[in-house]
Amino acid sequence: MAQDHQDTTHQGMGGIGAGKGSSDQAALLSNQLCFSIYSAAHLFNRTYKPLLDRLGLTYPQYLVMLVLWSGDGLTVKAIGEQLDLDSGTLTPLLKRLEAAGLVSRQRDPQNERLVRVTLTGAGRALRDHLGTVQEAILCATGLNLDGLKALKTQVDELRAGLAANLGPADRDD
Amino acid sequence: MAQDHQDTTHQGMGGIGAGKGSSDQAALLSNQLCFSIYSAAHLFNRTYKPLLDRLGLTYPQYLVMLVLWSGDGLTVKAIGEQLDLDSGTLTPLLKRLEAAGLVSRQRDPQNERLVRVTLTGAGRALRDHLGTVQEAILCATGLNLDGLKALKTQVDELRAGLAANLGPADRDD
DNA sequence: CGATAACGAATTGCGCACAATTCGTCAGTT
DNA sequence: AACTGACGAATTGTGCGCAATTCGTTATCG
């Protein structure tokens, strides 16, 4: 397979093995890249699971705790904006964190539409285990500082591209 | 407890930075990298959704169809090995594909433990839309061939690292 | 042989993720 | 003040993803 690059003309050619230019190869690669990301997310989740099980958290719950550790008393919407999650996901998740005694949820008296999420003492105390978890994850990646930086930079570029494509063209007919 | 902690530029105050120097930064980065991957996977899913809705597929269903398009008549286990999914995920998914008329599931007469999944005519016909989907995804990434290759290579290295760490040390107590 | 272990799917239960809808609250208009 | 629209959360319903268990089949060993 030839490795000719920088082709940006991919218009209206259907079919996979049609023997076209390099855009077919790029299209196939984008497919494979998506699966690699999908698979890596699952592998990360499995890596986190035994660590977070000891804290009684799932990975999405851990993400919410990270947000609250860096800024307590946020609304559901504010948490959702940082994590890109909506109330349909967060409301039941926060209820579980509340049932676990890690946060409290109460309506803002100034604006009854808002629900403010506040850490309890137990929620704040869990932060002591953060370092241990992060160290274990770092070790599991098998990457060094440079590798981590390079990969995160590229993934964030990809995220920006995908988000830009979703934003202006989020229409269906 | 008078710890307001409105400082977000440092992370090594509480119990995080109790140990070492530069590995703290790496540990934090690995945390952020995981979120970037997690978030990118969701963005990919949202990008695929309007495209696959027209085919009546979800993204995991699309992955299964990709596997079957490149090798029909596979067992549930064989599909699961390619996608890293187990029967708890695949069995209901395959039943939905069967209900949609895209595949058929039947026990292997030679070995009644195996369930072979075969494409129907409609399942084979769906393959005609593959090119269109791939082109749209390629465009949405905003990456060129070099960027795709570089990113996929690094994500696959990360996957290998995580998988190597899961395999030998998949113990819980 | 017959008991037993291993195997492959299916099932159960829990927790996301997300679209779509509902509900109470607040803001702007007349 | 009543009407209207926007807003933030909660709710409903579908589909993963995975651990744990169950069930029928096959292979192995004494």
| CATH code where residue A154 lies | 1.10.10.10
Q: Is residue A17 part of a domain?
A: no
Q: Is residue B153 part of a domain?
A: no
Of the candidates A82, A73, A81, A79, the residue with the CA atom closest to the CA atom of residue A109: A73
Chains A and B form CB pairs within 8 A to the count of 244
Between CA A158 and CA B151 the distance in angstroms is 9
Enumerate residues 6+ apart whose C-beta is below 8 A from B82. Answer: B67
| Cα–Cα separations (whole angstroms), residue A123 to A68, A91, A137, B35 | 9, 17, 21, 21
Task: Write down the number of H helices and E strands in chain A.
Answer: 7, 3
- Scan for tokens 């710890």, then name that residue: B3
Between CA B90 and CA B51 the distance in angstroms is 22
Q: Is residue B99 part of a domain?
A: yes
pLDDT-derived band at B171, boundaries 50, 70, 90: very low
| Nucleotide with the nearest C1' to B96 CA | D15
Across the interface, do A43 and B163 touch by the CB < 8 Å criterion? Answer: yes
**Is some CB atom of chain B closer than 8 A to the CB atom of A78?**
no
Q: Is residue A71 part of a domain?
A: yes
Output the pLDDT for position A168: 57
Local structure of A143: helix, strand or coil:
coil
Of the candidates A86, A33, A99, A34, the residue with the CA atom closest to the CA atom of residue A60: A86
> What's the average model confidence in pLDDT over B153-158?
96
**Is some CB atom of chain B closer than 8 A to the CB atom of A16?**
yes
Q: Which residues of B touch A41 (CB under 8 A)?
A: 37-38, 40-41
Angle (nearest 5°) at CA B28 between A156 and A137: 95
Between CA B99 and CA B79 the distance in angstroms is 18
In this structure, chain A runs to a length of 173
Series of mean pLDDT values for 10-residue runs along chain A (173 residues): 37 42 84 98 97 97 98 98 97 98 97 97 97 96 94 97 76 34
- Scan for tokens 């129907």, then name that residue: B120
Output the pLDDT for position B5: 37
Q: Is residue A6 part of a domain?
A: no
Q: Is residue B124 part of a domain?
A: yes
Q: Is residue B159 part of a domain?
A: no
Between CA B17 and CA A122 the distance in angstroms is 20
Q: Which residues touch strand C (CB under 7 A)?
A: A 58, 60-61, 84-89, 92-93, 96, 110-113; B 38, 42, 45-46, 49, 75-78, 80, 87-88, 90-92, 94, 105, 113-115
Q: Is residue A132 part of a domain?
A: yes
Between CA B124 and CA A101 the distance in angstroms is 52
Between CA A109 and CA A102 the distance in angstroms is 22
Indicate the average pLDDT of chain A.
87
Amino acid occupying residue B150:
A
Of the candidates B28, B11, B18, the residue with the CA atom closest to the CA atom of residue A134: B28
pLDDT tens, position by position, B60-106: 999 999 999 999 999 999 999 999 999 999 999 999 999 999 999 99
Given a contact cutoff of 8 angstroms between Cβ atoms, the answer to whether A105 and A120 are in contact is: no
Domain span including residue A138: 40-166
Between CA B82 and CA B68 the distance in angstroms is 11
pLDDT tens, position by position, B120-145: 999 999 999 999 999 999 999 999 99
CB atoms within 10 A of CB B141: 24
Interface of A with B in 97-116 (CB under 8 A): none
Domain count within chain B: 1
Local structure of A105: helix, strand or coil:
strand
CA of B83 to C1' of D18 (A): 14
Output the pLDDT for position A166: 84
pLDDT tens, position by position, A41-62: 999 999 999 999 999 999 999 9
pLDDT-derived band at B12, boundaries 50, 70, 90: very low
Mutate to test the interface with B, among A35, A57, A74, A146 (most CBs of B within 10 A): A35
Between CA B68 and CA B62 the distance in angstroms is 10
